[in-house]
């Protein structure tokens, strides 16, 4: 079948209103309209072409990114795009660039840690891109005193950086503080005296994150004017006297809370993109299983394919909703901080750190699983999956290594439990710890598979598992005379307790979402199926935790798996419509396997001939290397 919609028969199977689901996915009608308009704007502009990225050399690739960034900025100004529209434009251009760090970290660092005066001086320059900044925290070695190494945008483009370094006055070390430092001349871009700066080299994958100039930076007797220390949290007077404002020192790390929150929202985008490709292709691909000469089976109908694919589809939706909630939490904590209420900062830190860790790990693994779900064709660059994986996978490391972040969550959990004794009632995401006595001894009430569809049953099982794992850690920790030694020794268990807590957050936020009014025929019902798939898939995957803590019995674990299989069958007819609801353009997906019309094979065939290797029938190098070898073989054969 040439042309036409090869997935039309799949789309007809949908049991819900796809247009209404698009609004739910986008967050609101307004968000949908902005996203839809900007995605089409980018897709229809040849200046944003990206299919040639894997073929370009590093220098060509980087220059191309600079061109796109400058062009995007020009369009933002010409079209008078709002901040929301501009950030959607960046999203659909789909190419990491120095501008991400400028807008995503340099500006927020000044906003969060600069005084009013400092903000008035620096923000207008940064907003007009009259200076370009990056965020320089990570070191080549360790200790905030060697060379900065990794900051994006630093290598070749940034004129300024917020640099994190130790502040020492009168011989006293006051710890790490942020400083605005000019790195390059605003006239000819050369590094200022005493500054050594450059790119750190090629990274994983062709194209991919190599559009970014991650950099190295060294200072040799560089003087930073006193008023360029970010002084909202602490100050140094003209006389060199150090003082602290009446705000927690942890605010110095506030930019990370902001960025981690955006990374969680971004995880649902990256995962949904991979899932969209794998789901459409799984419906197009037929392999074996034909009976009586009929067509072969669509691979999406294999239960094994469903049990690998549908939990990822459900995870994409789960991460979307937890990302929405996290955005609310971040806005709430920001408003509280402005009113000098710092009480929710530890929770915001624990949630952003933990959810960043969980969602990025699941997304990176999920993209790779989607590649495998697409068989051999998934390994072609034209599937879009290799580049997506290579661009995405550092999210498990940047903005805090995922294990290090889970240890931050574990500290928060242990602290929360230790405060129960003093009568402090836990709130927010740890409110369930207030019921710890009940959760330590409750019994799951599941008798038949359908009992697992009750939200209260699911929630109690996840709460009990999390509480029991945290309590076990706290008990074991109390056996150590040195708490830090105990924390180090038990860090493996603590990480698992943190994972259980974060999974509970995601499951509970999905359930809360379903308690809202969700318009559209069948939409809520489909989301209910996905929510149950997400929860029961986790329960099945981590059944060792649930069983060993006595939260469920082996029979109940078996029933959960039985229910999960039934849920996959319910999701099957809706699968294509559920990925259509992401509303991704073919340009954004960048994948032949995932194209909307499902016309995969002719497009793959055509794309192959566009590869530079196929420019000539006989390749370069044939005369030099292959021809003499063939001749040699001929001679040997005659001998």
Ligand X SMILES: Cc1cc2nc3c(=O)[nH]c(=O)nc-3n(C[C@H](O)[C@H](O)[C@H](O)COP(=O)(O)OP(=O)(O)OC[C@H]3O[C@@H](n4cnc5c(N)ncnc54)[C@H](O)[C@@H]3O)c2cc1C
Ligand Y SMILES: CCCCCCCC/C=C\CCCCCCCCCC(=O)SCCNC(=O)CCNC(=O)[C@H](O)C(C)(C)COP(=O)(O)OP(=O)(O)OC[C@H]1O[C@@H](n2cnc3c(N)ncnc32)[C@H](O)[C@@H]1OP(=O)(O)O
Residues at the binding site for FAD are: 138, 152
Residue with Cβ nearer ligand X (214 or 503): 214
Please state, in angstroms and as integers, the Cα–Cα distance from residue 1 to each residue in 5, 12, 298, following that order.
10, 18, 16
Measured from the CB atom, the residue of 250 and 343 that comes closer to ligand Y is 250
Cα separation, 252 vs 231, in Å, equals 10
Q: Which residue is closest to ligand Y by CB?
A: 104
Q: How far is the CB of 555 from ligand X (least distance, A)?
A: 38
Give yes or no for residue 501 binding ligand Y (CB under 6 A).
no
62 is an interface residue for ligand X by CB under 6 A: no
- Work out whether 137 is an interface residue with ligand Y (CB under 6 A): yes
Shortest separation between residue 544's beta carbon and ligand X, angstroms: 22
Contact call for residue 135 and ligand Y (CB under 6 A): yes
149 interacts with ligand Y by CB under 6 A = no
Residues 171-190 that bind ligand X (CB under 6 A): none
- Per the listing, tokens 């002719």 go with 602
- Residue 257's binding partner, choosing from ligand X, ligand Y, none, with beta-carbon cut-off 5 to 8 A by kind? ligand Y
Cβ atoms of 503 and 358 within 8 Å: the answer is yes
Residue 148 to residue 199: CA distance in whole angstroms: 11
Distances (CA, A) of 391 to 269, 384, 395: 13, 11, 8
- With binding defined as CB under 6 A, does residue 495 bind ligand X? no
Nearest distance from residue 491's CB to ligand X, in Å? 6
Q: Does 100 bind ligand Y (CB under 6 A)?
A: yes
Q: How far is the CB of 510 from ligand X (least distance, A)?
A: 28
Max Cα-Cα span within the chain = 94
Contact between 300 and 279 under an 8 Å Cβ cutoff? The reply is: yes
In whole angstroms, how close is the CB of 346 to ligand Y at the nearest point? Answer: 6
> What is the rounded CA–CA span in Å between residue 571 and residue 301?
11
Assigned token pair, 268 = 């649902």
Answer yes or no whether residue 137 interacts with ligand X by CB under 6 A.
Answer: yes
103 binds ligand Y (CB under 6 A): yes
Quick one: 249 or 411, whose CB is closer to ligand X?
411
> Which string of DSSP letters, residue by residue, matches 254-289?
HHHHHHHHHHHHHHHHHHHHHHHHHHHHHHH-B-S-
Q: What is the DSSP letter of 581?
A: T
491 binds ligand Y per the rule CB under 6 A: no
115 binds ligand Y (CB under 6 A): no
486 DSSP 8-state letter: H
Three-state DSSP class for residue 142: coil
**Cβ(100)–Cβ(152) below 8 Å:** yes
The answer to whether residue 580 forms part of the interface with ligand Y (CB under 6 A) is no
The helix/strand/coil state of 182 is strand
What does the block give as tokens for 39?
């995605």
Give the Cα separation of 431 and 413 in Å (integer). 11
At its nearest, how many Å lie between ligand Y and the CB of residue 132?
12
**Measured distance CA(601)–CA(471) in Å, rounded:** 55
Residues in contact with ligand Y, shown as a per-residue x/- string from 320 to 359 under the rule CB under 6 A: -------------------------xx--x----------
Q: Which of 241, 221, 257 is nearest to 174 (CA)?
A: 241
**What, of ligand X, ligand Y, none, does residue 209 touch, CB below 5 to 8 Å by kind?**
ligand X
The smaller minimum CB distance to ligand Y, of residues 256 and 381, is found at 256
List 69, 208, 257, 575, residue binding ligand Y (CB under 6 A)? 257
Give the shortest CB-20-to-ligand Y separation in angstroms: 29
398 binds ligand X (CB under 6 A): yes
Q: Which does 349 bind (CB under 5 to 8 A by kind): ligand Y, ligand X, none?
A: ligand Y
Catalytic residue IDs: 399
388 sits near ligand X (criterion: CB under 6 A): no
Size of the site for ligand Y (CB under 6 A): 27
What are the helix (H) ranges across 454-516?
A: 455-477, 483-489, 491-514
**What's the rounded Cα separation, in Å, for the pair 301 and 551?**
33
User: Where does this chain touch ligand Y (CB under 6 A) — which range of 35-43, 133-141, 226-234, 564-572?
Assistant: 133-141
Convert 514-528 to b/e letters by CB count within 10 Å (16 or more is b).
beeebebebbbebbb
Contact set with ligand Y (CB under 6 A): 76, 86-87, 90, 99-100, 103-104, 135, 137-138, 152, 250, 253, 256-257, 259, 262, 345-346, 349, 398-400, 404, 408, 411
Contact set with ligand X (CB under 6 A): 101, 135-138, 150-152, 209, 214, 394, 397-401, 403-404, 407
């Amino acid at each position: 079948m040439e042309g036409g919609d090869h997935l039309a028969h799949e789309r007809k199977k949908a049991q819900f209103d796809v247009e209404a689901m698009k609004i739910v996915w986008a967050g609101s009608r307004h968000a949908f309209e902005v996203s839809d308009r900007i995605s089409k704007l980018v897709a229809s502009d040849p200046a944003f072409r990206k299919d040639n990225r894997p073929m370009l050399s590093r220098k060509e690739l980087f220059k191309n990114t600079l061109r796109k960034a400058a062009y995007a900025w020009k369009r933002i100004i010409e079209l008078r795009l709002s901040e929301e529209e501009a950030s959607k434009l960046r999203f659909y251009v789909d190419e990491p660039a120095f501008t991400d760090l400028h807008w995503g970290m340099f500006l927020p660092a000044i906003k969060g840690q600069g005084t009013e005066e400092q903000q008035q001086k620096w923000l207008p320059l940064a907003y007009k891109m009259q200076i370009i900044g990056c965020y320089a925290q990570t070191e080549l070695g360790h200790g905030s005193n060697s060379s900065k190494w990794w900051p994006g945008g630093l290598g070749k483009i940034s004129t300024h950086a917020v640099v994190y370094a130790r502040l020492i006055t009168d011989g006293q070390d006051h710890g790490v503080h942020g400083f605005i430092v000019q790195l390059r001349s605003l006239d000819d871009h050369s590094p200022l005296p005493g500054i050594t700066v450059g790119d750190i080299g090629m990274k994983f994958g062709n194209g991919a994150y190599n559009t970014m100039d991650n950099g190295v930076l060294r200072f040799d007797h560089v003087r930073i004017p006193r008023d360029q220390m970010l002084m909202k949290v602490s100050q140094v007077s003209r006389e060199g006297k150090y003082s602290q404002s009446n705000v927690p020192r942890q605010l110095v790390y506030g930019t990370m809370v902001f960025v981690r929150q955006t990374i969680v929202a971004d995880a649902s985008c990256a995962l949904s993109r991979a899932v969209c490709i794998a789901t459409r292709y799984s419906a197009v691909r037929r392999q074996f299983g034909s009976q009586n000469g009929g067509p072969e089976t669509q691979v999406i109908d294999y239960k094994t394919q469903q049990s690998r694919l549908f939990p990822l589809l459900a995870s994409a939706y789960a991460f979307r909703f937890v990302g929405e909630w996290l955005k609310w939490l971040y806005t709430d904590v920001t408003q509280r901080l402005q009113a000098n209420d710092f009480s929710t900062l530890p929770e915001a830190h624990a949630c952003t750190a933990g959810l960043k860790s969980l969602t990025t790990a699941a997304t990176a693994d999920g993209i790779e699983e989607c590649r495998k779900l697409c068989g051999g064709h998934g390994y072609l660059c034209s599937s879009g999956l290799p580049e997506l994986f290579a661009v995405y996978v550092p999210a498990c490391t940047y903005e805090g290594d995922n294990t290090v972040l889970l240890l931050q969550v574990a500290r928060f959990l242990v602290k929360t439990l230790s405060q129960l004794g003093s009568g402090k009632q836990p709130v927010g995401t740890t409110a369930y710890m207030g019921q710890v006595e009940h959760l330590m001894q409750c019994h799951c009430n599941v008798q038949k598979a359908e009992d697992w569809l009750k939200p209260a049953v699911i929630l109690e099982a996840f709460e009990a598992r999390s509480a029991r794992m945290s309590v076990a850690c706290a008990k074991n920790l109390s056996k150590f005379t040195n708490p830090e030694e105990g924390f180090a020794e038990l860090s493996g268990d603590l990480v698992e307790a943190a994972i259980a807590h974060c999974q509970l957050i995601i499951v509970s936020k999905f359930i809360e979402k379903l308690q809202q009014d969700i318009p559209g025929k069948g939409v809520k019902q489909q989301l209910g199926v996905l929510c149950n798939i997400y929860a029961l898939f986790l329960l099945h995957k981590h059944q060792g935790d649930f069983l060993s803590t006595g939260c469920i019995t082996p029979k109940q674990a078996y029933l959960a798996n039985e229910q999960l299989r039934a849920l996959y069958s319910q999701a099957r007819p809706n699968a294509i419509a559920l990925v259509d609801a992401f509303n991704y353009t073919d340009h954004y997906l960048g994948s032949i396997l995932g194209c909307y019309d499902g016309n995969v094979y002719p497009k793959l065939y055509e794309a192959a001939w566009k590869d530079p290797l196929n420019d000539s029938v006989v390749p370069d190098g044939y005369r030099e290397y292959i021809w003499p070898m063939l001749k040699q073989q001929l001679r040997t054969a005659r001998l």
